[in-house]
Amino acid sequence: MNSTKSYINTSVGKKVIMAITGLALYGFVIMHMLGNLQIFAGPEKLNAYGQFLQSLGGLLWAARFGLLAAVGLHIFVAVKLTLENQAARPIPYYSQHTNVASYASRTMKYSGLIVFAFIVYHLLHFTFGVTDPSAHALKDSMGRHDIYGMVIAGFSNPIVSASYIFAMGLLCLHLSHGFFSLFQSLGINQPEYDAKLKLAANVFALGIFLGNSSMPVAVLLKIVA
Ligand code: HEM
């Protein structure tokens, strides 16, 4: 127990925690997107999928707690690492340094903060129905929670859709650097593969951006209605 605690307190330990929790969150984002993309298959598919998730009962709650723990730990350790880095380097580097680091890596804390704000808003919107209670209360013809109708109602508002797309852009910026640095933190990168790894990170992040943004765009263009 004590050795685990002291490992976590090392800089390497913290980076490994960032990598493992980041990997779990990355996995969630992909699975969640694949599930949501069923909106293109129509209300029956999406609402049945929602009901299936609800039917998992205890398993769904275990996944939710796991997700919450991963988000909490990811943010807690990120804040600790940032504070430690600041304490170790009270005088900031000047511009020649910022030219070297990628835009995504320099903006990790800002993109992370905005993604967190997005998640809070998103939960209030679709999970708790606080921002749009009438859409959240919709039922389909089989008496199921009408997730399809709720998502269409939400994305029919251009401001809501634009905020989602903006948040997806920042999420992908965050994921592109996160994907690359998690290989470094876990010590499984080879410098000669860096360029390929960066390319893969950008392709994955772009795929997530396009997949998630396609939903609000399709609703606004009335491709999905
Ligand atoms: C256009 C993109 C997205 C759509 C259409 C969407 C849709 C939804 C819907 C409909 C729910 C509620 C499901 C239900 O009540 O049964 C939900 C829950 C959730 N979403 Fe999203 N989502 C999107 C993107 C994201 C992203 C990018 C994240 C994370 C970064 C995220 C995180 C969550 C979380 C944590 C929940 C709660 C899951 C639970 O506790 O069951 N979503 N989403």
What mean pLDDT comes out for the span 131-158? Answer: 97
Predicted local confidence at residue 133, as pLDDT: 97
Q: Which residue has the higher pLDDT, 10 or 44?
A: 44
Evaluate: CB of 36 within 6 angstroms of ligand 1: yes
pTM to 2 decimal places = 0.91
Residue 150 above 70 pLDDT? Answer: yes
pLDDT tens digit sequence for 40-51: 999 999 999 999
Q: Which residue has the higher pLDDT, 188 or 17?
A: 17
Residue 115 Cα: closest atom of ligand 1: 30
Residue 147 Cα: closest atom of ligand 1: 10
Cβ neighbours of 156 (radius 10 Å) = 15
Residue 96 above 50 pLDDT? Answer: no
Residue nearest to atom 43 of ligand 1 (CA): 126
Predicted local confidence at residue 111, as pLDDT: 94
Give the pLDDT band of residue 144 (cuts 50, 70, 90).
very high
CA distance 65 to 225: 33
Q: Which residue has the higher pLDDT, 74 or 9?
A: 74
Give distance in angstroms: CA of 122 to centre of ligand 1: 7
Residues facing 145 on adjacent strands: 139
**Fold exhibited by the domain 2-88+102-220:** 3 helical TM bundles of succinate and fumarate reductases (1.20.1300)
Evaluate: CB of 50 within 6 angstroms of ligand 1: yes
Residue nearest to atom 34 of ligand 1 (CA): 123
Select from 80, 65, 224, 87 the least CA-distant residue to 148.
Answer: 224
Predicted local confidence at residue 92, as pLDDT: 56
What mean pLDDT comes out for the span 23-27? Answer: 96
Give the up-direction half-sphere exposure of residue 28: CA atoms within 13 A in the CB hemisphere: 17
| DSSP conformation class of 89 | -
For residue 147, give the amino acid letter.
I
Give the pLDDT band of residue 190 (cuts 50, 70, 90).
confident
Predicted local confidence at residue 100, as pLDDT: 52
Residue 93 above 70 pLDDT? Answer: no
Predicted local confidence at residue 24, as pLDDT: 96
Residue 106 above 50 pLDDT? Answer: yes
CA distance 220 to 225: 9
Max avg pLDDT among 4-8, 57-61, 84-88, 178-182: 57-61
pLDDT tens digit sequence for 28-41: 999 999 999 999 99
Q: Which residues contact 164 (CB under 8 A, 6 or more apart)?
A: 118, 155, 212, 213, 216
Evaluate: CB of 147 within 6 angstroms of ligand 1: yes
Please give the structure tokens belonging to residue 150. Answer: 């709720």
Q: Supply the mean pLDDT for the chain.
A: 91
